[in-house]
Amino acid sequence: MEFTKMHGLGNDFLVFHEHQDLPDKVSELAVKWCDRFFGVGGDGLVFILPSQKADFRMRIINSDGSEAEQCGNAIRCVAKYVYDNKLTDRENITIETLGAGVQQVSLQVENGVVQTVRVDMGEPILDGLRVPTALEGNPVLSRPIEVDGREFNFTAVSMGNPHCVIYVEDAPSFDLTTWGPKLEVHPYFPKKINVEFATVTSRNRVEMRVWERGAGPTLACGTGACATLVSSVLNEVTDRAAWVGLKGGDLYIEWSEEDNHVYMSGPAAEVYRGNIVE
């Protein structure tokens, strides 16, 4: 099977496009191929498939074999892949996702190569039961949560996949690997959850680190950056447009007052191509 290794700010994937649907035993393949010592290595597999609703359809299998409803970094990789590989010649395309429906994507192209991708990520879901959490509220804003004797406050946001955003004093040095996996499986979250630890440094900048459901710590999370911006607006600590600083780089996130949609802008990159022999 031919694949292309791509990443969005270090959140890396094996991208496949010559398929009509997911291959058999795809969960087992994801665990095997994403292993960074015995496989290719990656945070997940991304399949670019035909769509009856959009120009392309995207499905994402995490490194633990579970399926992700949406991924902001993956959708930017898909957009770059289809344009750079001449699967489309249009700079405005649509991509169907499992959890967020059809999304509008705009490409900034220089010398025939995509440099930046801007994605309409749709409206955030703030109703606690729909995120989903076990808590009622719209929004679930700065609610206490306790794990192993430590209490945090979180805000719940879905961007087609569930997130809880927690503000800490120093996100870049926060003990992500201790608290992320415990919060991911907390009883408040019936489908588990992505956990963002954030520190606001100004009205237009937030530093964030992420523990991704099904993948663990990653260098970037596009939907997590969107959720962090939405949470920060709700908590009145940033403006409606801000940079979100991730370990792998920055994303520019806007929450429009006009249509209530969240827009994400950032890069994607191809690393190399290869073949997997089974």
- The answer, yes or no, to whether the previous bond of 124 is cis (omega within 30 of 0) is no
Name the token pair of 167: 């503000």
Name the token pair of 161: 């996949």
Work out the angle between the directed axes of helices 222-234 and 72-84 (0-180°, nearest 10): 130
SS3 call for 182: helix
| φ and ψ at residue 60, rounded to 5 degrees | -125, 125
CA–CA separation, 45 and 22 (whole Å): 10
Name the token pair of 24: 């058999």
Sequence-ordered list of residues with C-beta below 8 angstroms from that of 39, at least 6 positions apart, any chain: 32, 33
Catalytic entry in 34, 77, 164, 221: 221
CA–CA separation, 74 and 76 (whole Å): 5
List Cα–Cα distances, 162 to 158, 173, 190, 262, in angstroms.
4, 24, 10, 15
| Rg over CA atoms, the chain | 18
Hey, which residues does 107 pair with through a beta bridge? 117
Name the token pair of 235: 């908590």
Active site residue 77: no
Q: Of 46, 22, 23, 17, which Cα lies nearest the Cα of 34?
A: 46
Catalytic entry in 71, 77, 164, 226: 71
Catalytic positions, written as ranges: 71, 221
